[in-house]
Amino acid sequence: MTPYELFEFAYKIRSGKEGPEVHERIELVLSKLGLNQCKNTIIGGWLKRGISGGERKRVSIGYEIITNPALLLLDEPTSGLDSSTALRIIRLLRQEASRGVSVLATIHCPSALILSCFDRVILLSEGYTIYNGPPSEVAAFYKPFGLNMPKFCNPADKLSMIASVPFKAIREGTNIIDIA
């Protein structure tokens, strides 16, 4: 299948709708994801070469958003993408959220710009929540623990360092300043 054919199939099977609105929605999603240049190229796979890995990632996101879902769960939607494409995807997800779609995504090591696009960050360490709030408040939250954010540090990098500390050490009062 091509991205266009896949989106058409997904839209029709999920919504049961036919007609010009189907094609309008497909064209809109293809445009938002920057897939117009490959919309008629076979997706491919292990046995047959097709679109690139980044395009395939965007097609999988398009497959999920084609029918305007109420909830969108994404696992690593930016992995394998260059920084500008990753930012484009996150901005698209932000637009979906502003339309009322609940978007939940796992992201490992986002850029500072991507991190700032999120309304809420939940940081986990060994299954425990060690931060839950807006990305803009991360530095203020950790300051009382002696974890100051260096001037030119990506807050996401600092969060990754903090999350790498074993939760047991944090709970037992180990000096996390030395660790993170």
* Tens of pLDDT, residues 50-90: 999 899 999 999 999 999 899 999 999 998 889 999 999 99
Q: Is the pLDDT of residue 172 over 70?
A: no
Q: Which of 95-109, 140-154, 159-173 has the lowest mean pLDDT?
A: 159-173
Taking the C-alpha atoms of residue 78 and residue 134, their distance in angstroms, rounded to an integer, is: 20
CB 170 within 8 A of CB 125: yes
- Size of the chain in residues: 180
pTM for this model (two decimals): 0.80
Predicted pLDDT of residue 55: 94
Mean pLDDT of 38-49: 91
Predicted pLDDT of residue 77: 93
CB atoms under 10 Å from CB of 87, counted, come to 17
Taking the C-alpha atoms of residue 138 and residue 148, their distance in angstroms, rounded to an integer, is: 10
